[in-house]
Structure 1
Amino acid sequence: MKAKKFIDLNCDMGESYGSWTMGNDAAIMPFVSSVNIACGFHAGDPNIMMKTIYLAIQHGVHIGAHPGYPDLAGFGRRAISMTPKEVYAAVLYQIGALAAIAQARGAKLHHVKPHGALYNLAAKDKVYADAIADAIQALDSSLILYGLSGSELTRAGKDRGLSVFHEVFADRTYQADASLTPRTEPNAILKTVDAAIAQIVRILQTGEVITVSGDALPIEADTICLHGDHEGAAEFAKQIQQQLTDFDISIR
């Protein structure tokens, strides 16, 4: 594989709600090229959505919808029993809401990335992956679908002629089937910036990721996800951007 010379760096944002604050969007925004904005189901609300879109416009960052399960209490990380038809409607509703706010601000959506438990379900379950891809295609087929690299979700997007970005994670570990290690397991998160940077640089230079079992697994990467909902996230984003630049890999 030819080493990557540029990569998209995305971050989940707009996940505050009312007077409750999640993350530090303003501090992270200068270091990323795309943001995935919560659409009010797992987090966010209309005011937060407007504020986050405005912040993204100020920094020239691509705006994406981040639809999830209707689960504010569980932050969208719990599996909710919904039919594929219900998932289709929920995703369409959320993308449409964010698209309307973006349009009112003079901006346009660039992509869609499902959130949390819905993202993980669609990575493995063809039926739900198809429902999400169908919703995106029905609303705006020019939107890019962000999905776990090599997953059912990226396959569903390709099958429908959508542009697809294969997503990899800087701070998550991988299983032998290319899925992410569940957050319930103690080794799910890479604890240091150095470990995260080493993983990302290896992926971009060799097209491989080392799984938790120590095996090298082929993986495709178009975008890297950073998580903005933990302490030190802004410094983490800054260091990753700088380290990638040092390796002659541009963020764009």
Structure 2
Amino acid sequence: MAVRLNCDVGEGLNNEVLLMPYIHSCSIACGGHAGDTDTMKRAVELAIQYETDIGAHPSYPDKTNFGRESMNMDDEALVFSVREQVEALEKITRQYDILLHHIKAHGALYNDMAGNREKAEVFLSAVENYKGRVRLYVPYGSEIAKSAVSRGFNIRYEAFADRNYNDDLSLVSRKSANAIILRPEAIRQHILYMVQEQKVRTVTGSEKTIRADTFCLHGDHPHAAEVLRYLSEHTI
């Protein structure tokens, strides 16, 4: 069973060399919540070395909170920021004659777009120029997924290998003790159930329908490299 894994990288942990050999795609922070020209360039070079697909990982422009707090921005400012971030990474990939594979929002922006159609439409306006040539990583059943499909974007459903879900398919808040799945064995079972049953067990014990084309293991997971090695050794 071939499961496509992705990681968020370029976020200041300098662990990319440990992750790239085990993942199919990476989403590179491009200056909003983390990252600068040097970190983007290093991540791009490693992705090329390991033949890992490269994606942009824009967020609210908020390095103080690592992009994990919602921001009250006017639409024009948000569009400008997202475009600026994606273009910053694309400028680097062009130097290596590499095309962007996907765009995936980060943190609070990702979550806000999942539940708020207006925010989703603003984000899609920001990345309109990439429609048809770049995929969007979006959560199943979300407002951003629905809007993207209706506007003709090429989407890939993403689920989270290392996060627990609420009944509405939102992620359990990081402020909760059970937000993150830590044990490699539990992460593998979490993934397998979503792949085999197309359902996820939520924190209430319910089973909810879900689809996923790619599974994210956060690059800042406490045991990210260990988990990826485990998954590579135990076929999924």
Distance (Å, rounded) in 1 between the aligned partners of 2:211 and 2:183:
23
1:11 corresponds in structure 2 to 7
- 8 Å CA contact retained: 1:167, 1:223: yes
Cα pair distance change 1:240/1:23, threshold 3 Å: farther
Cα pair distance change 1:241/1:136, threshold 3 Å: farther
- 8 Å CA contact retained: 2:29, 2:56: yes
- 8 Å CA contact retained: 2:131, 2:154: no
SS at match of 2:4: strand
Distance (Å, rounded) in 1 between the aligned partners of 2:193 and 2:14:
28
Alpha-carbon RMSD across the aligned residues, in angstroms, is: 1.3
Distance (Å, rounded) in 1 between the aligned partners of 2:202 and 2:106:
23
Distance (Å, rounded) in 1 between the aligned partners of 2:166 and 2:97:
41
CA distances 1:38-88 after superposition (whole Å, capped 9, x unpaired): 001110100111111011011111000000111111111111111233222
Distance (Å, rounded) in 1 between the aligned partners of 2:28 and 2:205:
34
Distance (Å, rounded) in 1 between the aligned partners of 2:131 and 2:193:
34
- 8 Å CA contact retained: 1:13, 1:52: yes
Tell me by how many angstroms 1:23 deviates: 4.6
1:242 corresponds in structure 2 to 233
- Superposition pairs of residues 94-113 of structure 1, within 5 angstroms: 94-113=85-104
**Structure 2: unaligned runs, 5 residues or longer:** none
Cα pair distance change 1:104/1:204, threshold 3 Å: same
Distance (Å, rounded) in 2 between the aligned partners of 1:198 and 1:23:
28
- 8 Å CA contact retained: 2:131, 2:153: no
1:175 corresponds in structure 2 to 166
Tell me by how many angstroms 1:144 deviates: 0.3
Distance (Å, rounded) in 1 between the aligned partners of 2:132 and 2:125:
9
Give 1:37's match in structure 2, choosing from 23, 28, 34.
28
SS at match of 1:198: helix
SS at match of 1:77: coil
Give the TM-score normalised by the residue count of structure 2.
Answer: 0.96
Aligned residues: 236
* RCO comparison, higher one (Cα < 8 Å, 6+): 1
Distance (Å, rounded) in 1 between the aligned partners of 2:91 and 2:131:
13
Distance (Å, rounded) in 2 between the aligned partners of 1:231 and 1:219:
26
Pair 1:123 & 2:119 matched: no
CA distances 1:15-48 after superposition (whole Å, capped 9, x unpaired): 12xxxxx151001100000000000111010011
CA distances 1:197-240 after superposition (whole Å, capped 9, x unpaired): 11100000010100111011110111100111133211111112
1:198 corresponds in structure 2 to 189
SS at match of 1:220: coil
Give 1:52's match in structure 2, choosing from 30, 43, 47.
43
2:60 corresponds in structure 1 to 69
CA distances 1:166-196 after superposition (whole Å, capped 9, x unpaired): 1111111111111111111111111211111
Pair 1:152 & 2:148 matched: no
Runs of 4+ in 1 over 6 A off after TM superposition: none
Give 2:178's match in structure 1, choosing from 187, 190, 211.
187
1:224 corresponds in structure 2 to 215
Distance (Å, rounded) in 1 between the aligned partners of 2:167 and 2:23:
29
Distance (Å, rounded) in 1 between the aligned partners of 2:219 and 2:141:
24
Give the AA of the match of 2:54: I
1:81 corresponds in structure 2 to 72
